[in-house]
Copies of this chain bind each other. A is one copy, B any other.
Amino acid sequence: MGNSFGRKFRITTFGESHGRGLGVTIDGCPAGVPVDEEYIQAELDRRRPGQSKITTQRKEGDKVEILSGVFEGVSTGTPIGMIIMNQDQKSKDYSHIAKSFRPSHADYTYHEKYGQRDYRGGGRSSARETAARVAAGAIAKRMLAHFDIKVQAYVSQVGPLKLEKSYQELDLSQIESNIVRCPDQQVAEQMIALIDDTRLKRDTIGGVVSAVVSGAPVGLGEPVFDRLHAELGKAMLSINAAKGFEYGSGFDGVALYGSQHNDAFVTDKDGGIHTKTNRSGGIQGGISNGEDIYFRVAFKPVATIMMDQESIDVDGNAVTVSGKGRHDPCVVSRAVPIVESMAALVIADHLLLQQSTRLDQITL
């Protein structure tokens, strides 16, 4: 269980790292969304391994194929099925991990939960699964673009290197201008240097991805449990290696007094209602208030390091495991499109959920 996300714009993913292929079904995409494989492919390419020197050098083309739900360039309202066949699923030698539990990986927990596991490349626990999410997220983004809603994420921290500027102080058009996807060029260079250095040390390091949703209307979110930020939080925490989520003022807001923290309402000259500040992060009472929605996601250092580590095998015997092959020294640059995709899926879902909220807005 647990392989579906969303209620109205609902995705279901399948696929292992080294099986025949991955895929995703979207059930509930409205009819009329322009869908083309080129756009989806472009998004997949942002997540693809081997895209830069600071990502894994593994080769996966990640070629998406739409099997259904699209006719003459637009969605038809029927489920959209997409697959990404694995190009190189040939069994390399996995004997080194077939029976070993790698530290801080999911080997042990999958083995115990299911009584067995597809150990090749981590199987289902591999972040390769997120390719399916990005394919679905691309379609959600297309739907949101129709309403001028935009989702942008960027790297705001790598190890101890923290981007101190808020998103308002940054030029988000610069996100894609460097390989680490940090809109501040100077900090980006430092981040890249740190990741490169970490790679040379055969180690890995953590980071933070920040995201902003602009253009979302007032009213998204379904209290009391499906508050918009609770859904965003779940979405982000469902991404491999995620360890924390905060929105608006987040953990730092804790230290403030209410009189400092509250966002005052103001009416602008066009009669629109806004808040002077936005410590609420665009969400009040679990419902979007029309301001920018922003949040941060913490990612731990990747568990696969190119060093020997002491561990145990399925029989409890001591073994030494060692990272082989090509792995990411830091996931955050590739996590950017994944964070965006999950955010787009949440917003799209809630936009659809919101359609039936008021009797006076329901149409036959």
Docked-complex contact B81 and A15, CB < 8 angstroms: yes
Q: Which of B113, B208, B364 contacts A147 (CB 8 A)?
A: B364
Q: Which of B302, B357, B362 contacts A351 (CB 8 A)?
A: B362
Q: How far is the CA of A58 from the CA of B29 in the complex (A)?
A: 31
Q: Which residues of B contact A335 (CB under 8 A)?
A: none
Q: Which of B30, B250, B304 contacts A362 (CB 8 A)?
A: B30
Given known A-B contacts A258-B204, A362-B352, A2 and B27 have beta carbons under 8 A apart: yes
Q: Which of B7, B69, B280, B353 contacts A14 (CB 8 A)?
A: B69
Q: Which residues of B contact A157 (CB under 8 A)?
A: 254
Q: Which residues of B contact A113 (CB under 8 A)?
A: 77, 218-219, 221, 287, 354, 357
Q: Which of B32, B106, B251, B312 contacts A287 (CB 8 A)?
A: B106
Task: Tell me which of A48-56, A123-131, A172-180 binds B.
Answer: A123-131
In chain A, positions 243-270 with a C-beta closer than 8 Å to chain B are 243-251, 253-267
Task: Tell me, yes or no, whether A152 is within 8 Å of chain B by CB.
Answer: no
Task: Tell me, yes or no, whether A96 is within 8 Å of chain B by CB.
Answer: no
Docked-complex contact B68 and A21, CB < 8 angstroms: yes
Majority secondary structure of chain A interface residues (helix, strand, loop or mixed): mixed
Most buried by B among A13, A104, A250: A104
Looking at the assembled complex, report how far the CB atom of A326 sits from the nearest CB atom of chain B, in whole angstroms.
15
Q: Which residues of B contact A8 (CB under 8 A)?
A: 1, 356
Q: Which of B76, B160, B279 contacts A255 (CB 8 A)?
A: B160
Q: Which residues of B contact A170 (CB under 8 A)?
A: none
- 0/1 per residue, A291-327, Cβ < 8 Å to B? 0000000111111110101111000111000000000
Docked-complex contact B76 and A257, CB < 8 angstroms: no
Docked-complex contact A2 and B224, CB < 8 angstroms: yes
Q: Which residues of B contact A360 (CB under 8 A)?
A: 32, 115
Looking at the assembled complex, report how far the CB atom of A354 sits from the nearest CB atom of chain B, in whole angstroms.
7
Q: Which of B116, B231, B245 contacts A74 (CB 8 A)?
A: B116
Task: Tell me, yes or no, whether A112 is within 8 Å of chain B by CB.
Answer: yes
Q: Which residues of B contact A353 (CB under 8 A)?
A: 1, 356
Docked-complex contact B20 and A358, CB < 8 angstroms: no
Task: Tell me, yes or no, whether A337 is within 8 Å of chain B by CB.
Answer: no
Most buried by B among A221, A237, A266, A354: A237
Q: CB-nearest residue of chain B relative to A266? A: B312
Looking at the assembled complex, report how far the CB atom of A104 sits from the nearest CB atom of chain B, in whole angstroms.
4
Docked-complex contact A305 and B262, CB < 8 angstroms: yes
Given known A-B contacts A231-B234, A271-B316, A303-B258, A115 and B298 have beta carbons under 8 A apart: no
Docked-complex contact B208 and A251, CB < 8 angstroms: yes
In chain A, positions 80-112 with a C-beta closer than 8 Å to chain B are 80-81, 83, 85, 101, 103-106, 108-110, 112
Q: Which residues of B contact A105 (CB under 8 A)?
A: 284-285
Docked-complex contact B223 and A125, CB < 8 angstroms: yes
Given known contacts A32-B359, A71-B116, A234-B237, what 19 new A-B pairs fall within 8 Å (CB)?
A15-B67, A31-B115, A32-B115, A83-B83, A103-B275, A106-B287, A110-B285, A112-B219, A115-B360, A143-B359, A159-B257, A206-B256, A229-B242, A254-B300, A256-B301, A258-B303, A259-B305, A267-B318, A279-B300
